[in-house]
Amino acid sequence: MSESDANNQVKRVYRSPLREDAARRTRETIRSAAAELFRERGYVGTTVRLVAERAGVAVRTVSAVFPGGKAELFHSALESASALPQILFDAPRDPSRDDADFVLDHLVWQATEIHENIGRLVLAAVESSGADEDMARFSAEHGLDTAANAMTIAEGLASNGMLRHDVTVQYAADVLYTVVSPQVHDLLRRQCNWDTVAYRNWVKATIRSGLLG
């Protein structure tokens, strides 16, 4: 190996921890700024220039870090929010309450944690789906995933004898899909200013009175 080849190899493998840390911090700053704007202004109302201004960087920096533009920014913000730690439901089972109460507590707790983290981002995508092809595709996929999850829960309730005799699995899935949705969560939490306790109690009461035996 020649001296120039050796030097080139050293250059290729050399990595600066300080530079990498700065790059990570810049990426996180941009992503956080984008997430704030998507929640505040929606997807259509957010531009790369606004993200750059909020993050305190140049537009070309945003474009260099997120070459996929606004769509990449959105998906990165959603991925980051989805990875936020959730407060796990760890309440002990109360023998004085039936199994349905315990299942409802767990279901609604987890759904609330998810909506608190990513609900506004999901709604930003849904609200802009008519104007953006990428958001339309994401919204459709998210809707299918949510419906499938609601059906799985409904089937579980039915198999454990928790549904009322006059409630079909499909009806239960439809109710769960609607009641435990980011749209309803946003209406009650953001627009009606309910706290999480009031929201959880309403969801549990609605599901219990409408579906469970």
Give pLDDT, residue 211.
Answer: 96
DSSP state of 133: H
Q: Is the pTM of this model over 0.75?
A: yes
Spell out the residues 6+ positions from residue 188 whose beta carbon is closer than 8 angstroms to its own.
194, 198, 199, 202
Task: Tell me how far apart the alpha carbons of residues 210 and 100 are, in angstroms, rounded to a whole number.
Answer: 13
User: Which two tokens mark 205?
Assistant: 């009461």
User: In terms of DSSP H, where are the helices of the chain?
Assistant: 3-13, 17-41, 48-55, 59-65, 69-82, 99-127, 133-159, 169-179, 182-186, 196-211
User: Which two tokens mark 113?
Assistant: 């944690």
Which residues make beta-bridge pairs with 163?
Answer: 212
- Max alpha carbon distance in the chain (Å)? 82
Task: Tell me how far apart the alpha carbons of residues 207 and 180 are, in angstroms, rounded to a whole number.
Answer: 9
Task: Tell me how far apart the alpha carbons of residues 101 and 75 are, in angstroms, rounded to a whole number.
Answer: 35
Give pLDDT, residue 85.
Answer: 57
Q: Stretch 157-175: mean pLDDT, rounded?
A: 95
Residue (of 111, 89, 75) closest to 206 by Cα position:
111
Task: Tell me how far apart the alpha carbons of residues 136 and 7 are, in angstroms, rounded to a whole number.
Answer: 50
Taken in order of first residue, the domains within the chain and their CATH numbers are: 3-82 (1.10.10.60), 99-211 (no CATH)
Question: How far apart, in Å, are the Cα atoms of 103 and each of 27, 179, 193?
Answer: 40, 16, 26
Strand, helix or coil at 212?
strand
Q: Stretch 174-179: mean pLDDT, rounded?
A: 97
DSSP state of 181: S
Q: Is the pLDDT of residue 8 over 80?
A: no
Give pLDDT, residue 61.
Answer: 96
40-93 pLDDT per residue, tens: 999 999 999 999 999 999 999 999 999 999 999 999 999 988 876 555 445 555
